């Protein structure tokens, strides 16, 4: 059924671009989401149809790690797709513009799926590149001066990053000439044969290259611009799904490092970039003026947390995976809600937003609860993941690092919390006339995302726990 | 013979660092494309003919003719002549280029000693071209120069992938893909958009988004 996930969005994208009809647009968008959900659910139930030819099946596989990230992507995509209906209504888009948005979004989802299913390092790289090309068009969708600037920075910085990752892949192939293959299965199995020197150099290039795309500091310059300028449902996908999919690419390379027993070098770089990301986020978060940029800096912080997690052994990897699902859903809810706020107030400035609870209580409550979800307040799973990370620091013999880790988290929560509280409470300014009221599509996805988070946080359901353990157990 | 071509490829860095005219930069990129084409003809024996044809098309047609032609058209249409005041003076930049070029030779010798790289000079010079491109991206201010530096980065990567092309032709084909999609399509389109919307081509105009 891998074939379905790769072919359906491609064909529907072409059909939508050709038909340019409102009903076709929406059926294609929601239909793709439903098909993805059905396929992922069937994989969860260990049920599959072998539709693809053998040569193709070798290039795309569904392992526990890939299925884990694919499930998260599908949840965020569904939320984003449903919210897009509210976005279309609010923006009063013509069927043609809607078709352009949906056609590119489907190609973007296809590219992310390719990254998650690729069983070949070079193929994974091609799909990462494809995510840049497709998402760039979505970031520029509103055709404003600021969105053009954001898109330019995004394409340029990420293209340089992707090019450097490619250098890493070439260097890896130089060091693994006896293996003669870039299939992950071969690289894992014969990791010990890779020349350690070339492997380390390759990892350094790949971590800088993929790290640029993941948005960790100091290669993060594009992220606050791109995530804040994209339409809100696209921002949710960028933050909740795209960052994760490239992160999976890095995880697969980290697995090669672990199997080649070069993890010390890898862990040092991961810790360095992780802490740098926390530092940069804390510095900007304390003086934040734009709430969409605030969410973007929070993404940098959380990607830093994931980097730190995977450098801390098995407990850290388990915590990082739990944190990635928690971050994706919470950030998805936050970005979608930021779309409501932008619609209600017409501004992205924190200073212009007051009395959210008074102006639109559902938006206010979702905004506030989503903050709790991202900040790590119990019972949300970010609490458990951060707690496990602190434990992992001690297990790895680096307990002293938990002090700066917690300090940075505290500063970030303080900065973000101050902005959110200031926006939520107090008296709302007079509303501009002629606003279309928000409909159920503008609240539903966030509420479901938060309910899923609560369910995971209160008692991790057995299948989710099994999947997390399977995914973490994937590491040697 | 291929060693001479690779060293010649490396020396183009010095010329690019010294030249302030954008047109000279573009013509040097075309020369790099031609050198890559000659290297393919001389060095690649073990890959099949259609792959050679594809690479020949990429280097001789795309890198040497099509991309330079488009870029020259863009700078003439937008009346772009020289690089605006760079972040580092030209003299210092040239000295830095010499250091990077020397570094390339050192890396080549040192790679030869590891014994795992078939053609160390490929590795050393391509790494120096990649580093030089990254330096120029930081050093220069014009948006068009950033595109040119990216093209140079791609040429450096192409040279690097040539060193493993006999063993892994797939990698070099992917390099071609990188050129085609990013190089031509998005950069030319978005450069024109920025020029039309901002009425300027200096990255200093792109400062609307900041904290």
- Between B134, B168, B208, which is nearest A145 by CB? B208
What pLDDT score was predicted for residue A191?
A: 92
A140 to chain B: nearest residue by CA?
B190
What pLDDT score was predicted for residue B86?
A: 63
Question: Residue A98 corresponds to which tokens in the numbers above?
Answer: 């809607």
A 10 A CB-CB count for A202 gives 27
pLDDT at residue B145 tops 90: no
What pLDDT score was predicted for residue A124?
A: 94
Span B98-127, mean pLDDT? 81
A 10 A CB-CB count for A390 gives 17
Q: Specify the DSSP class assigned to residue A164.
A: H
Enumerate the β-bridge partners of residue A361: none
Residue ranges, chain A, pLDDT below 70: 432-434, 476
What pLDDT score was predicted for residue B87?
A: 64
Assign residue A313 a region (left: φ > 0; alpha: ψ between -120 and 50; beta: otherwise). left
Q: Are A269 and A211 in contact (CB under 8 A)?
A: no
- Between A159, A228, A288, which is nearest B182 by CB? A159
Give percent above pLDDT 90 in chain B.
15
What pLDDT score was predicted for residue B176?
A: 75
Range from A141-155, B25-39, B60-74, B105-119 carrying the lowest mean pLDDT:
B105-119
Which residues in A288-313 are b (16+ Cβ under 10 Å) and which e?
A: bebbbbbbbbbbbbbbbbbbbbbbbb
What pLDDT score was predicted for residue A470?
A: 79
Of B191, B163, B182, B154, nearest to A128 by C-alpha is: B182
Of A130, A90, A195, nearest to A435 by C-alpha is: A90
Of A166, A193, A315, nearest to A323 by C-alpha is: A315
Instruction: Enumerate the H helices of chain B as residue ranges.
Output: 2-18, 22-43, 49-56, 67-77, 90-114, 120-139, 143-162, 169-178, 187-198
Query: What are the percentages of helix, strand and coil residues in chain A, rounded to 5?
Result: 80, 0, 20
Q: Do B123 and A228 touch (CB under 8 A)?
A: no
What pLDDT score was predicted for residue A46?
A: 81
- Which residues of chain B are within 8 Å of residue A150 when distances are taken between CB atoms? 209
Q: How far apart are CA A274 and CA A283, in angstroms?
A: 14
Measure in Å the smallest separation between the Cα of A295 and chain B Cα atoms. Answer: 13
Of A402, A416, A168, A202, nearest to A308 by C-alpha is: A402
- Compute φ and ψ for A396, nearest 5 degrees: -85, 0
Question: Residue A93 corresponds to which tokens in the numbers above?
Answer: 């888009």
Question: Residue A423 corresponds to which tokens in the numbers above?
Answer: 């926006």
Q: Do A180 and B211 touch (CB under 8 A)?
A: no
For the stretch A68-108, pLDDT in tens is: 999 999 999 999 999 999 999 999 999 999 999 999 999 99
Measure in Å the smallest separation between the Cα of A140 and chain B Cα atoms. Answer: 10
Q: How far apart are CA A459 and CA A465, in angstroms?
A: 9
- Between A148, A166, A167, which is nearest B194 by CB? A148
Enumerate the β-bridge partners of residue B202: B142
- Between A151, A153, A160, which is nearest B137 by CB? A160
- Which residues of chain A are within 8 Å of residue B163 when distances are taken between CB atoms? 170, 174
- Which residues of chain B are within 8 Å of residue A293 when distances are taken between CB atoms? 211
Q: Are A206 and A169 in contact (CB under 8 A)?
A: yes
The interface predicted TM-score (ipTM) is 0.90
Q: Are B175 and B126 in contact (CB under 8 A)?
A: no
Domain segments of chain B: what residues? Answer: 2-205
Q: Are A389 and A312 in contact (CB under 8 A)?
A: yes
3-state secondary structure of A375: helix
Give percent above pLDDT 70 in chain B.
81
Q: How far apart are CA A247 and CA A214, in angstroms?
A: 6
Put simply, the chain B residues between 50 and 69 with a CB less than 8 A from any chain A CB are: none
Count of A–B CB contacts within 8 Å? 103
A 10 A CB-CB count for A282 gives 20
Q: Are A435 and A341 in contact (CB under 8 A)?
A: no
Measure in Å the smallest separation between the Cα of B91 and chain A Cα atoms. Answer: 26
A 10 A CB-CB count for A361 gives 10
- Which residues of chain B are within 8 Å of residue A180 when distances are taken between CB atoms? 167-168
Q: Are A243 and A235 in contact (CB under 8 A)?
A: no
- Compute φ and ψ for A398, nearest 5 degrees: -125, 40
3-state secondary structure of A349: strand
Q: Is B87 an 8 Å CB contact of chain A?
A: no
């Amino acid at each position: 059924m891998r074939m379905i996930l790769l072919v359906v969005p491609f064909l529907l994208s072409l059909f939508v671009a050709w038909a340019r009809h409102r009903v076709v647009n929406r059926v294609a968008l929601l239909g793709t989401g439903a098909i993805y959900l059905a396929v992922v659910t069937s994989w969860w139930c260990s049920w599959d149809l072998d539709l693809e030819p053998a040569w193709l099946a070798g290039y795309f596989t569904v392992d526990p790690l890939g299925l884990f990230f694919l499930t998260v992507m599908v949840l965020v995509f569904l939320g984003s797709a449903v919210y897009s209906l509210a976005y279309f209504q609010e923006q009063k888009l013509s069927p043609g513009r809607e078709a352009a948005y949906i056609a590119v979004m489907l190609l973007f989802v296809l590219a992310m799926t390719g990254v998650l299913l690729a069983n070949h390092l070079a193929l994974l790289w091609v799909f990462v590149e494809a995510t840049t090309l497709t998402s760039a068009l979505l970031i520029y969708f509103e055709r404003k001066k600021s969105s053009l600037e954001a898109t330019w920075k995004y394409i340029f910085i990420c293209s340089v990053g992707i090019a450097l990752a490619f250098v890493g892949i070439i260097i890896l192939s130089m060091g693994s000439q006896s293996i003669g293959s870039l299939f992950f299965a071969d690289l894992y199995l014969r990791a010990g044969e890779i020349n350690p020197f070339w492997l380390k150099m390759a990892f350094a290039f790949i971590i800088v290259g993929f790290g640029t795309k993941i948005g960790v500091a100091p290669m993060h310059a594009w992220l606050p611009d791109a995530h804040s300028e994209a339409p809100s449902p696209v921002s949710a996908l960028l933050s909740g799904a795209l960052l994760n999919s490239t992160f999976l690419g890095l995880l697969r390379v980290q697995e090669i490092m672990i199997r080649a027993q070069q993890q010390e070098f890898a862990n040092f770089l991961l810790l360095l970039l992780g802490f740098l990301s926390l530092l940069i986020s804390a510095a900007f978060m304390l003086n934040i003026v734009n709430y969409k940029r605030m969410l973007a800096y929070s993404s940098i912080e959380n990607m830093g947390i994931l980097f730190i997690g995977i450098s801390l052994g098995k407990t850290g990897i388990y915590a990082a995976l739990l944190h990635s699902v928690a971050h994706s859903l919470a950030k998805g809810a936050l970005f979608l809600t930021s779309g409501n706020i932008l619609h209600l107030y017409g501004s992205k400035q924190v200073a212009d937003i007051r009395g959210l609870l008074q102006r639109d209580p559902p938006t206010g409550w979702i905004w506030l609860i989503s903050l709790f979800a991202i900040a790590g307040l119990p019972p949300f799973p970010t609490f458990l993941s951060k707690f496990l990370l602190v434990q992992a620091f001690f297990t790895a013999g680096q307990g002293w690092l938990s002090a700066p880790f917690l300090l940075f988290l505290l500063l970030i929560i303080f900065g973000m919390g101050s902005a959110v509280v200031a926006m939520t409470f107090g008296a709302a300014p007079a509303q501009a006339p002629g606003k279309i009221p928000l409909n159920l599509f503008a609240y539903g996805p966030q509420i479901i995302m938060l309910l899923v988070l609560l369910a995971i946080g209160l008692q991790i359901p057995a299948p989710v726990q099994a999947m997390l353990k399977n995914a973490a157990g994937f590491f040697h | 013979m291929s060693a001479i071509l690779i060293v010649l490829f490396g020396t183009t860095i010095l010329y690019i660092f010294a030249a302030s005219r954008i047109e000279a930069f573009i013509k040097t990129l075309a020369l790099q494309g031609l050198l890559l084409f000659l290297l393919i003809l001389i060095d690649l024996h073990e890959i099949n003919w259609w792959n050679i044809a594809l690479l020949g098309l990429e280097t001789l047609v795309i890198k040497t003719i099509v991309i330079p032609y488009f870029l020259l058209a863009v700078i003439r249409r937008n009346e772009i002549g020289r690089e605006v005041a760079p972040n580092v003076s030209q003299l210092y930049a040239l000295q830095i280029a010499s250091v990077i070029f020397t570094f390339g030779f050192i890396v080549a010798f040192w790679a030869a000693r590891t014994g795992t790289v078939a053609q160390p000079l490929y590795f050393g010079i391509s790494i120096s071209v990649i580093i030089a491109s990254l330096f120029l991206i930081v050093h220069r201010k014009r948006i068009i120069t950033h595109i040119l530096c990216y093209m140079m980065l791609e040429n450096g990567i192409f040279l690097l992938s040539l060193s493993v092309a006999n063993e892994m032709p797939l990698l070099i084909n992917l390099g071609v893909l990188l050129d085609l999609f990013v190089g031509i399509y998005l950069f030319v389109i978005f450069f024109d958009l920025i020029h039309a919307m901002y009425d300027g081509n200096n990255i200093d105009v792109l400062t609307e988004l900041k904290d």
